[in-house]
Amino acid sequence: MRKKILVVDDEITIRTLLEKFLNQNYEVTALADGQEGLGWLQTGQIPDLMIVDLEMPNVDGYEFIKNVRSSGYFQNIPIMMLSGADSSSERVKCYKLGANDFMIKPFNPEELSLKIEIILKCKSV
């Protein structure tokens, strides 16, 4: 069975890029903001991994991780954060809230896909 990945990003270009690129190996769902993402999780899907943008309207990346890590259902799902800014304090904050990995935009899709593979491998062992 193909692993499920949830992508949450308000930029449509990133969403379509990730959907197209990751669809070869995974079942991808792409949503536009944290509120949509939390709603989707609540109504009946547990993904194997989530790729989440930091700057989003409604519920942003920080709030999204905080909420997901506070839930009995979603606390253990690996999260990879995306951000347009190369700021170590941002990254530290994300890791403290429970993010597993971090990528700075623009990124090399191959690097992202390898990181995903590593995270999913660790999880399944």
Nearest to 9 by CA among 27, 34, 26, 28: 34
Nearer to another protein, 12 or 46 (CB): 46
Nearer to another protein, 64 or 102 (CB): 64
* 36 backbone dihedrals φ, ψ, rounded to 5°: -60, -40
Nearest to 97 by CA among 83, 82, 79: 79
57 near another protein (CB under 8 A): no
Strand-pair category, 27-31 with 4-8: parallel
Among 43, 88, 108, 124, interactor with another protein by CB under 8 A: 43
70 near another protein (CB under 8 A): yes
In the complex, the residues that contact another protein under the rule CB under 8 A are 38-39, 42-44, 46, 59, 66-67, 69-73
